[in-house]
Amino acid sequence: MPDILQVSDLHFGGVFLPDRAAGVHRVAERRRPDVVVIAGDFTQRARSRQFNAARAFIDRFEAPIVVTPGNHDLPVYRLIERTVAPYRKYRDSIEASLDQVHSFDGLTIVALNSTRPLRVTTGSLSSSQLDFAADAFGRAPAGDLRIVVTHHHVAYPPAFRAPRAMIGGERVVSRLEQLGVRVLLAGHLHSTLIGDSIRLMPRLVAGVARRDGLIISQSGTATSTRGRGPERGKNSFNYISIGPEQTVVTHYGWNQSNQAFESVADHAFPSGAGAAGDEPADARGGEEG
C-alpha cells in the first residue's frame, strides 16, 4: 500500500525558508513516497516568480504530485486580476484543473479547491464539489482507500482556538464520512493537527448518525516563517504510511540544531473505514501521539 508525503503552506516569497525546502526533499529522497500531496499556499502573494520557484520545488520530487490551491495562491491585493482571472497564474504554473481525481494502486485521491476568490482567507466546498467526489469514489475500484485533499482546515488543536476557516466544515466532514472517505488532508492553519474526526469534531450535523470517523491530517507550514499557535516559528509536515491493517501518520518537525526534519510523533489508526467507529470515541486508543 502506498506512502504519501503531505506538505502545505510553502509560501514562496519573502517568508520562504530554502533550507526547509531542501530538508523536505531529503526526507522524500530517503523515504521515497509513492505520492506527494501539496495542500495549497504555494506562494505568499501569487506572483509569477513565486509560482515559478514553487514549480521548481515540485519538479524535484520523483513521485507523482497531487495539488490543490490555497488562498495565498489568489491575487488578494490585485482586485481586477482576482475578479477576472483569479487562478490564471496557478493554472499556468502548478495545475490546470482545480478539482481532480487521481488513481493509484489501492488508492483514490480527490483534490477539491476550497479557496473562494471573493473571500480573503476563509474557504468552503460546494455541494457540487462534494457530488464530484461522490461520483469519483463511486467509479473507483471497490476496496480503494478514499482520500480527499483540500486547503482549508476543518479542526483545531485544543490549545489553539480561532475562527473556523472552512465555512460549513461540519457539513463537509459529515458528507465525507458518509462517502467512506478514510483520510482528509489539509493545511492552512500553519499548525499540525492529526486525529480521528469523531474525536476532534464530536458534533457535526444534527440528526445524522455517525459510525465511521475519518483520519484528519492537517499539516503545518513546511517552508515558511509563518508557523502559528503551538507551531509559532516552527516548520512541519506529515507522512502517511498506509498498511493493510494500520495507517500511520508521522508528524515531522524541523530540528534547527540538526538542520533537518525529524520524526516528532507517530499517530496510528486502523486502515479500514469502520474500524475506528465501532467503539465509543472515549474507548478508542492509538491515535494520539
d(CA 121, CA 40): 12
The reply to whether 212 sits near Fe ion by the rule CB under 5 A is no
If the CB atoms of residues 5 and 198 are measured against Fe ion, the closer one turns out to be: 5
* Beta carbon of residue 211, minimum distance to Fe ion (angstroms, whole number): 32
d(CA 124, CA 172): 9
Cell representation of residue 202: 464530536
If the CB atoms of residues 2 and 168 are measured against Fe ion, the closer one turns out to be: 168
The reply to whether 236 sits near Fe ion by the rule CB under 5 A is no
For the segment 33-52, give every residue that binds Fe ion (CB under 5 A). 41
Q: What letters, b where the CB count within 10 A reaches 16 and e where it falls short, cover 250-272?
A: bbbbbeeeeeebeeeeebbbbbb
The reply to whether 9 sits near Fe ion by the rule CB under 5 A is yes
By DSSP bridging, strand 236-242 and strand 246-255 are: antiparallel
d(CA 177, CA 173): 6
x/- mask, Fe ion, residues 80-119, rule CB under 5 A, reads ----------------------------------------
Write out the E strands in the chain.
Answer: 3-7, 35-38, 65-67, 100-104, 107-111, 145-149, 183-186, 193-196, 215-218, 236-242, 246-255, 260-270
Which of 44, 68, 71, 217: binder of Fe ion (CB under 5 A)? 71
The reply to whether 271 sits near Fe ion by the rule CB under 5 A is no
* Beta carbon of residue 72, minimum distance to Fe ion (angstroms, whole number): 6
* Beta carbon of residue 183, minimum distance to Fe ion (angstroms, whole number): 20
If the CB atoms of residues 57 and 269 are measured against Fe ion, the closer one turns out to be: 57
Among the residue ranges 29-37, 108-116, 153-161, 185-193, the one whose residues contact Fe ion (CB under 5 A): 185-193
The reply to whether 3 sits near Fe ion by the rule CB under 5 A is no
The reply to whether 231 sits near Fe ion by the rule CB under 5 A is no
Name, in order, each residue with C-beta under 8 angstroms of 125's C-beta and a sequence gap of 6 or more.
112, 114, 150, 166, 168, 172
The reply to whether 219 sits near Fe ion by the rule CB under 5 A is no
Cell representation of residue 61: 520530487
For the segment 186-205, give every residue that binds Fe ion (CB under 5 A). 188
* Beta carbon of residue 56, minimum distance to Fe ion (angstroms, whole number): 19
* Beta carbon of residue 41, minimum distance to Fe ion (angstroms, whole number): 3
The reply to whether 123 sits near Fe ion by the rule CB under 5 A is no
d(CA 94, CA 149): 16
Cell representation of residue 105: 494502486
Q: Which residues bind Fe ion (CB under 5 A)?
A: 9, 41, 70-71, 188
